[in-house]
């Protein structure tokens, strides 16, 4: 019996540790109508309504107008007075590995990629961890929806869109397996002992080989017929919807040569829906991208320029320049510490507002525009009658870290918790300094 004691004690301690560190309990289904009155309402599509009123019931928005308009309230409506505050649609973060990795230094907590190169059948959704402590830290900044995206390989797998307050991935998903992510071959590698001219020639040859290999693979997937072949390929089955337009092909690329080749690639293979992710040099082909109806998910503007001769603020201006060129533009947070930094999404948009966009245009980058790119705009991304009541109330300007202080947040009409392990630490240490 004594030999069992340490094991039993360890299990008990582990049980309590897991309970203490678990996610907040997801919000309960909305039971009565809610009316938020007196706030400045930002629709996410450019319109602003001062002294507004928004009513929602059963998770859907039923009325938007002025607070002083004589519109009847449903019985037992809960009224929230939000004078001098702001209402926004929930922010949407695309191309994120939220819930796929908890601690970078702990291999067992990393589930963002699989071994292999062509993996269109890999589903990131089933690896999504709703109990992630990183995920819960998004909500206090207004980030309520995310695209969960795999990494690695030439074709990484499929992404899904989830809401960030759920018991499990089955409860979380909004748009399941909606897109396939392709990492376009890069042209130039690191310099080696070879002379420069020989190195450049070799890199171009390797690049051409990789593009041809990719093209052949997708051509095979396009012509794939399981009944004719007699064997079933789950990889080709996953790719087939890309050619019918039922899935979006997200191509990660940045250089002008890559973008030029992607435009030709789209034409040759007749792929209906392509989204360019990154697009650092997309401005060079802005008119061609616009004509091809290819949106761009611009990488976070809080980055350094990629070229020695560029303006220091080139990343800050890119979203503005592409928007002014007539492209559909959204913002994505990939890069160093991307999961933790995803909560800074509203401040990335705020930086774009400081570099040429109006505040409402900048807001669209992370609401309606991202919703359009992810294919969820019929229900999310803007505040309109009939759409999901996924929104929040902020004490001030949500694109400014000084004003982004949430008092309430709702996902599909459910009131969600704004408490996290970080807010608990803040409350704990604020008591010390108040003394």
User: Model confidence over 229-248: pLDDT tens digits?
Assistant: 667 899 999 999 999 999 99
Domain ranges of the chain: 30-89+382-435, 91-380
What pLDDT score was predicted for residue 227?
60
Rounded to the nearest 10 degrees, what angle do helices 345-354 and 314-324 cross at?
Answer: 80
- Whether the predicted pLDDT of 119 surpasses 80: yes
Question: Would the pLDDT of 404 be above 80?
Answer: yes
Q: Do domains 30-89+382-435 and 91-380 have the same CATH topology?
A: no
Segment 193-216 shows an average pLDDT of 84
**pLDDT band with cut points at 50, 70 and 90 for residue 191:** low
| Domain 91-380 = CATH 3.30.450.260 | no
365: Cα separation from own chain's centroid: 11
Q: Which fold has domain 30-89+382-435?
A: Urease, subunit C; domain 1 (2.30.40)
Residues 314-334, mean pLDDT to the nearest whole number:
97
Nearest CA to 42 out of 432, 403, 424 is that of: 403
- Segment 39-42 long-range contacts (CB within 8 Å, at least 24 positions apart): 39/82, 39/83, 39/84, 39/85, 39/86, 39/87, 39/393, 40/85, 40/86, 40/87, 41/86, 41/87, 41/383, 42/86, 42/87, 42/88, 42/89, 42/360, 42/363, 42/383
What is the per-residue pLDDT across 346-394, written as a single tens digit (0 to 9) for each? 999 999 999 999 999 999 999 999 999 999 999 999 999 999 999 999 9
166 — phi, psi (to 5°)? -150, 160
């Amino acid at each position: 019996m004594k030999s069992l004691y340490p094991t039993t004690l360890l299990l008990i301690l582990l049980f309590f540790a897991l309970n203490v560190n678990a996610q907040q309990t997801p919000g309960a289904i909305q039971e009565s109508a809610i009316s938020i009155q007196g706030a400045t309402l930002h629709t996410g599509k450019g319109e602003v309504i001062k002294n507004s009123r928004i009513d929602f019931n059963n998770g859907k928005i039923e009325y938007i107008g002025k607070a002083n308009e004589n519109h009847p309230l449903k019985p037992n409506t809960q009224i929230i007075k939000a004078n001098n505050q702001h209402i926004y649609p929930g922010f949407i973060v695309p191309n994120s590995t939220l819930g796929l990795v908890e601690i970078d230094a702990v291999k067992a907590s990393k589930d963002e990629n699989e071994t292999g190169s062509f993996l269109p059948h890999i589903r990131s959704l089933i690896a999504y961890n709703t109990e992630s402590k990183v995920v819960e830290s998004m909500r206090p900044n207004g980030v309520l929806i995310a695209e969960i995206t795999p990494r690695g390989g030439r074709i990484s797998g499929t992404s899904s869109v989830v809401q960030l307050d759920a018991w499990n991935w089955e409860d979380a998903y909004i748009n399941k397996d909606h897109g396939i992510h392709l990492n376009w071959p890069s042209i130039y590698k690191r310099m080696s002992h070879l002379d420069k001219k020989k190195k450049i020639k070799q890199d171009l040859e390797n690049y051409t080989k990789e593009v041809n290999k990719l093209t052949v693979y997708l051509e095979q997937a396009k012509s794939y017929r399981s009944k004719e072949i007699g064997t079933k390929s789950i990889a080709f089955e996953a790719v087939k919807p890309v050619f019918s337009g039922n899935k979006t092909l997200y191509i990660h690329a940045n250089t002008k040569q890559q973008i030029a080749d992607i435009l030709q690639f789209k034409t040759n293979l007749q792929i209906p829906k392509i989204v360019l992710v990154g697009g650092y040099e997309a401005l060079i082909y802005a008119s061609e991208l616009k004509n091809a109806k290819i949106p761009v998910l611009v990488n976070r503007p809080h980055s350094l320029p990629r070229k020695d001769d560029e303006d220091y603020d080139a990343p800050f201006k890119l979203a503005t320049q592409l928007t002014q060129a007539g492209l559909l533009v959204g913002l994505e947070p990939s890069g160093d510490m991307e999961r933790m930094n995803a909560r800074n999404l509203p401040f990335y948009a705020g930086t774009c507002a400081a570099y040429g966009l109006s505040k409402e245009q900048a807001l669209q980058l992370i609401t309606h525009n991202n919703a359009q790119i992810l294919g969820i705009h019929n229900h999310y991304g803007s505040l309109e009658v009939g759409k999901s009541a996924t929104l929040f109330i902020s004490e001030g300007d949500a694109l400014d870290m000084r004003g982004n202080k949430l008092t309430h947040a709702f996902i599909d009409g459910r009131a969600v918790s704004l408490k996290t392990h970080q807010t608990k630490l803040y409350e704990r240490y604020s008591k010390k300094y108040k003394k």
